[in-house]
Amino acid sequence: MPVNAQRGYMRLLRIAEHHARVVGVSTRSPWLKRIRFSAPELVESFDGHPGEWIRLWVPDSSKGGLLRQRGYTVAGFSYEGGWFDIDVVLHSPDGPASAWARAVRPGAEVVISFSRPKEHLGGTEPLTLLADTSSLPAVEAICEHLAAGSREIRVFLDAQGHDVAGLLSAPGARVVITEDPVAAFSSASPQEGGFVWAGLERSRVSALKAVLKAAGTPRSSVHAQAYWIKGRGFA
Ligand SMILES: Cc1cc2nc3c(=O)[nH]c(=O)nc-3n(C[C@H](O)[C@H](O)[C@H](O)COP(=O)(O)OP(=O)(O)OC[C@H]3O[C@@H](n4cnc5c(N)ncnc54)[C@H](O)[C@@H]3O)c2cc1C
């Protein structure tokens, strides 16, 4: 099997690798698959921060099975049960990860890399989340985590043509479904954004950063990460 240099680099950085076994596959929606893994040792290292994510290594059939890493949000986990869930968007065109998720069955073994992400939601100020379907699991985890508090949360979500009305669980949040979360946010007073969190396609992250810069939003009030790249594989 071809070797991915990125994996060697991550090993040099001492990013831990874990073996995980698929123990459940279910369909949240025809385009969103939930996959449950058993990986007690990995689960022990989770700290439960919402939006915590893992790097899943999947074979790229167009490159002779070269392993590619793709980010996925921990959608739920159990310390006692030693399991965790991810929700994978089945997109078109497929990439190695969405193709893997379409076909995967219980019993499959995978390697997962994990390093603790930095805290990234600010303090008590209002919170604005900009998202699409790839970051829908993160939005759900964040809203559920903050639901018990009094923090004001608004969400600008690109559902990418899907009906998310009966699917999305964002307790306590004001949700705006829009084809362009950055434009919708921009026309809804970005100066009042409080802390801004975004998980979007790469060019939208760039557009968002320009809007925030023009609005004078300090960098310390922003966490914006590219979740995928339009028209090409992530890496
Ligand atoms: C921190 C982090 C957390 C993430 N959490 C999740 C998660 O919980 N669930 C989830 O589904 N994704 C999540 N993602 C996004 C996921 O890693 C990317 O979508 C990834 O590119 C999918 O890999 P792939 O191999 O299927 O497609 P790639 O090989 O990367 O891309 C193949 C083709 O598919 C297109 N494509 C890729 N992703 C999408 C998409 N989401 N929608 C439409 N077209 C797409 C590309 O533009 C390209 O044309 C996360 C990303 C990061 C960085």
| Dihedral (Cα; 17, 100, 117, 178), 10-degree rounding | 180
- For ligand 1, the distance from its centroid to the CA atom of residue 228, given in whole angstroms, is 5
- For ligand 1, the distance from its centroid to the CA atom of residue 132, given in whole angstroms, is 11
Same domain for 146 and 65: no
Q: What is the rounded CA–CA span in Å between residue 4 and residue 17?
A: 14
Give me the CATH number covering residue 60.
2.40.30.10
Question: Tokens representing 38?
Answer: 């058993």
pLDDT digit string (tens) for 214-226?
999 999 999 999 9
- For ligand 1, the distance from its centroid to the CA atom of residue 210, given in whole angstroms, is 23
Give me the CATH number covering residue 170.
3.40.50.80
β strands within 115-221, DSSP E: 127-132, 153-158, 173-177, 195-201
Q: Is residue 63 part of a domain?
A: yes
Q: Is residue 122 part of a domain?
A: no
- For ligand 1, the distance from its centroid to the CA atom of residue 193, given in whole angstroms, is 26
Domain total of the chain: 2
Q: Are 31 and 90 in contact (CB under 8 A)?
A: yes
Give the least confident one: 72-76, 115-119, 121-125: 115-119
- For ligand 1, the distance from its centroid to the CA atom of residue 134, given in whole angstroms, is 6
Same domain for 11 and 108: yes
Residue nearest to atom 12 of ligand 1 (CA): 134
Which pLDDT does position 3 carry in this prediction?
Answer: 64
- For ligand 1, the distance from its centroid to the CA atom of residue 94, given in whole angstroms, is 9
Closest CA to 129 of 188, 193, 82: 193
User: Which ligand 1 atom is nearest residue 98's CA?
Assistant: 26
pLDDT category at 135 given cuts 50, 70, 90 is very high
pLDDT category at 2 given cuts 50, 70, 90 is low
- Say if residue 148's pLDDT is above 90: no
pLDDT category at 82 given cuts 50, 70, 90 is very high
Same domain for 194 and 136: yes
What's the chain's length in residues?
Answer: 235
35 touches ligand 1 (CB under 6 Å) = no
The residues pairing with 107 across neighbouring beta strands, listed in sequence order, are none
Strands 53-60 and 109-114: antiparallel
Q: Are 117 and 109 in contact (CB under 8 A)?
A: no
Tell me the average pLDDT across 140-154. 93
Which pLDDT does position 75 carry in this prediction?
Answer: 97
72 touches ligand 1 (CB under 6 Å) = yes
Q: What percentage of the chain has pLDDT greater than the value 70?
A: 95
86 touches ligand 1 (CB under 6 Å) = yes
Residue nearest to atom 38 of ligand 1 (CA): 228
Last residue of a domain, one of 51, 86, 114: 114
pLDDT digit string (tens) for 12-40?
666 788 999 999 999 999 999 999 999 99
Which pLDDT does position 191 carry in this prediction?
Answer: 65
Q: Which tops the pLDDT comparison, 7 or 165?
A: 165
The 8-class DSSP code of residue 105 comes to -
Q: Is residue 196 part of a domain?
A: yes
pLDDT digit string (tens) for 170-211?
999 999 999 999 999 999 876 666 999 999 999 999 999 999
| Tally of helices (H runs) and strands (E runs) in the chain | 6, 12
197 touches ligand 1 (CB under 6 Å) = no
Domain housing 53: 5-114
Which pLDDT does position 201 carry in this prediction?
Answer: 98
